[in-house]
Amino acid sequence: MEKIDVAVLGATGTVGQKFILLLQNHPYFEVRELVASERSAGKSYAEACNWKQDIPIPKNAGQLRVKGIEEDLKSRILFSGLDSSVAGTAETRYAEDGHLVISNSSNHRMDPQVPLVIPEINSEHFQLIYSQQHRGAIVTNPNCSTIFLTMAIAPLHREFGVEAVNVTTLQAISGAGHPGVPSLDILGNVIPYIGGEEEKMETEPLKILGALSGDVIEPVPIKISAQCNRVPVYDGHTETLSIKLTSNPSLAEVRRVLDGFSGLPQELGLPSAPEKPILVLDDPDRPQPARDSWLEKGMATIIGRLRPCPVLGIKMVILGHNTVRGAAGAAILNAETMVRQGYLKNGDRLPKGQRRTRTPSLSESDRASG
């Protein structure tokens, strides 16, 4: 398979760096272009980036010249880790120019025509790109706490019906980007407020679990109450939740359904797919962010402490790696799914305007079938 040229937007940031790391030697994608702010534009990536990953900057990425947000791009797929202050307008413009933008930012997630996808759950929502008016398209992945919450409730909703969820998060500092929360504010402390986070957790799962009817998504009528906290943890968002189910299964049945969950990425054997998207741990003191965030290469939702809840029925603790499955890894898995489902092939599965486009990016002949 010939690789598809991709760009990383916001390449110097926390999520951008994770994209560079995860896209190294990727079988479908080749990083050709990097974009960041005017502070970084014109410099080599190695020079512009305050690299914080555990391995050295991949050589090919380190040598690329960082482009500014106003410069035209040639790549077919743009992975976006742009700051939300600029992502809204920039991603729309890139999509209008004919690129497929796969975004981590919150700006377009709830737009009615923009798919918000976890491919194990709602890959059929990718079809919404056909109703976008751009020559290219925008696709999004969920907020870094929403994704793990939704992964935990999706199999339970399918099997037993979910009526209500009460969730409290303990979110890592890396979720605030770099340099993020000042050390004097977070060390030895808990900050019981993350702007906009609770609203995202209470609305995004309803869209993801919603049914696609024509080009409209009917949200599911689940009540979610979220309380979000920033804690002095480097990586890994922990969430404690209680769930009210419609039926009354035993804990063993709930455990079986969660542990047995699998979806399209597993069926297709996609390169970034975790073997098991949900891992259930039985040790009484797990999951822990420092010990378990990297299970399944950071791509799984880890569930533990499954037990009865005297108020809502069942309760549990969940954990996920916020910059991997919560951000860059989720976007890459969406792109892999779209490639394998044929969305990037020429023909009738392209976004509307694309068949008429003169832009080279999305309209090139398919280079990644298979």
Ligand X SMILES: NC(=O)c1ccc[n+]([C@@H]2O[C@H](COP(=O)([O-])OP(=O)(O)OC[C@H]3O[C@@H](n4cnc5c(N)ncnc54)[C@H](OP(=O)(O)O)[C@@H]3O)[C@@H](O)[C@H]2O)c1
Give the CB-side neighbour count of residue 152, counting CA atoms within 13 A: 29
Which one, 68 or 161, has the nearer CB to ligand X?
68
- Catalytic one of 144, 157, 228, 321: 144
Looking at 99-107, 132-140, 292-300, 346-354, which segment touches ligand X (CB under 6 A)?
99-107
Determine, following the binding rule CB under 6 A, whether residue 236 of this chain makes contact with ligand X.
no
Determine, following the binding rule CB under 6 A, whether residue 329 of this chain makes contact with ligand X.
no
Q: Minimal distance in Å, beta carbon 189 to ligand X? A: 19
Angle, helices 329-340/14-23, rounded to nearest 10 degrees = 50
Residues in the chain: 370
Q: List Cβ neighbours of 181 (8 Å cut-off, separation of 6 or more).
A: 173, 191, 230
By CB under 6 A, the residues from 6 to 25 that bind ligand X are 10-16
Determine, following the binding rule CB under 6 A, whether residue 361 of this chain makes contact with ligand X.
no
What burial class does residue 164 get, using C-beta atoms within 10 Å of its C-beta: 0-12 exposed, 13-18 middle, 19+ buried?
A: middle
Q: Cα separation of 297 and 273, whole Å?
A: 9
* C-alpha triplet 93, 94, 98: angle, nearest 5°: 115
Determine, following the binding rule CB under 6 A, whether residue 110 of this chain makes contact with ligand X.
no
Determine, following the binding rule CB under 6 A, whether residue 320 of this chain makes contact with ligand X.
no
Is-catalytic flag, 134?
A: no
Question: What are the structure tokens assigned to 105, written together?
Answer: 């930012």
Binds ligand X (CB under 6 A): choice among 105, 238, 354, 363: 105
Binds ligand X (CB under 6 A): choice among 57, 128, 222, 327: 327
Binds ligand X (CB under 6 A): choice among 322, 334, 357, 361: 322
* C-alpha triplet 70, 74, 77: angle, nearest 5°: 100
Which one, 9 or 280, has the nearer CB to ligand X?
9
Q: Cα separation of 147 and 207, whole Å?
A: 12
Is-catalytic flag, 237?
A: yes
Name the residues that contact ligand X, by CB under 6 A: 10-16, 36-37, 39-40, 69, 81-84, 86-87, 104-106, 144, 174-175, 177-178, 322-323, 326-327
